[in-house]
Amino acid sequence: MGSTLLKLTIEQKQHFEREGYLIVKGLFSEDNLSEIDTTFEDISLQTVPGYFEPDLQADASDPLKRYPRVMHPHRFNETAKKYMLHQPVMEVLADLYEEEALAAQSMFYYKPPGSRGQALHQDNFYLQVEPGNCIAAWTAIDAADEQNGGLLVVPKTNTLDLSCPDLADAKESFTTHYVKPPKDEKAMPVIMERGDVLFFNGNLIHGSYRNKTKDRFRRAFICHYANESATHINQHYCPLYRQNGESIDLENNTAGGPCGTEFEAAYPH
C-alpha cells in the first residue's frame, strides 16, 4: 500500500510488531454496532446446526450452555459476513501485513455473567497459516474489563514459537488447552470500550478471565485473517474471503502443527 493510504501511524505499527497486539478505536460506528447487536440477539433465540447449538432450556449452572459461542456466523448470516469484511478493519490488517488480508473465520461470544473464561493459547496453533501468520481482530461489543471476563495478553510472546499445550483447568476454562507463558512474562488485562478493536499476532499467548459479574455480558465479535501470500491453512477455515467478497481456497495444512495430527480434534478453538 502507498503511504498515503496507511491507516496506522509508524508508532502503532511498531507497537504491534514489538508487543504483538494493538488496540484501534473508531473502526465501528454506533450504527454498525447496533446492527451487530440486533443480528446476534436474533441468532441467540434460535439453533443453527453446526454453528450455534444452545440449550434454550438450560439451567443457570453453566451459562455457556444457553449462550455458547457462535462459530463461523459468516457462513449463514450476511451481516456477520459484511462485518468480517468491514473495510476499516481490512485496511488496518493490510497495514499490518503490508499486503491484502484474507478473512478466514468469524466468531461471536456472548459471555454472559458467570461464564468461564478461555485458558491462555496461541491462535496459529489452530489456524496453521503458512507462510506468514494469522491475525485476530477482536471487537468489543460490550466494554471488557477484569470483572466481566475481558481479554488477557502476554506481551511480546508474538516472537515465540508455537507451543504444544497442556491441559487447562476445566473449572475456569471452557476450552481444554493451556499454553504456559515464559516464567518472566505475565498475562495483563486489556481494558476495552464498546467498539474498540484489538488486533493481535497468531503466536501471541492470550486468553480471558471468567465473567465475575452478576449482570454484565461481555459480547465480542472476533475474526481471524491470513496474509494474501499464505499458501496453507487448516482445512476448517476454507474458503477464505477477499475484502470484495471473492472466495479463495488455500492448500490444506495437513501437518498438524508442532504437536502432530493428534491435536486435529482441537478445532474449533
Q: For 136-150, what is each residue's pLDDT tens digit?
A: 999 999 999 999 999
Q: What is the mean pLDDT of the chain?
A: 93
**Is residue 200 predicted with pLDDT exceeding 50?**
yes
Q: What is the pLDDT of residue 61?
A: 80
Rg (Cα) of the chain, in Å, rounded? Answer: 17
- The three-state secondary structure class of 147 is coil
**Is residue 261 predicted with pLDDT exceeding 50?**
yes
Q: How does residue 59 score in pLDDT terms, banded at 50, 70 and 90? A: confident
111-139 pLDDT, tens digit each? 999 999 999 999 999 999 999 999 999 99
Rounded to an integer, the average pLDDT of 186-203 is: 98
* Residue-range domain boundaries for the chain: 20-47+67-266
Long-range contacts, 12-20 (Cβ 8 Å, 24+)? 13/95, 13/96, 16/96, 16/199, 16/201, 18/156, 19/155, 19/156, 19/158, 20/153, 20/155, 20/156, 20/157, 20/158, 20/159, 20/200, 20/201, 20/203, 20/204
Helix (H) / strand (E) element for 22: namely strand 21-24
Q: What is the pLDDT of residue 60?
A: 72
In whole angstroms, what is the distance from residue 79 CA to residue 81 CA? 5
| pLDDT above 90: percentage of residues in the chain | 89
Rounded to an integer, the average pLDDT of 67-96 is: 98
**Which architecture, in CATH terms, is 20-47+67-266?**
Sandwich (2.60)
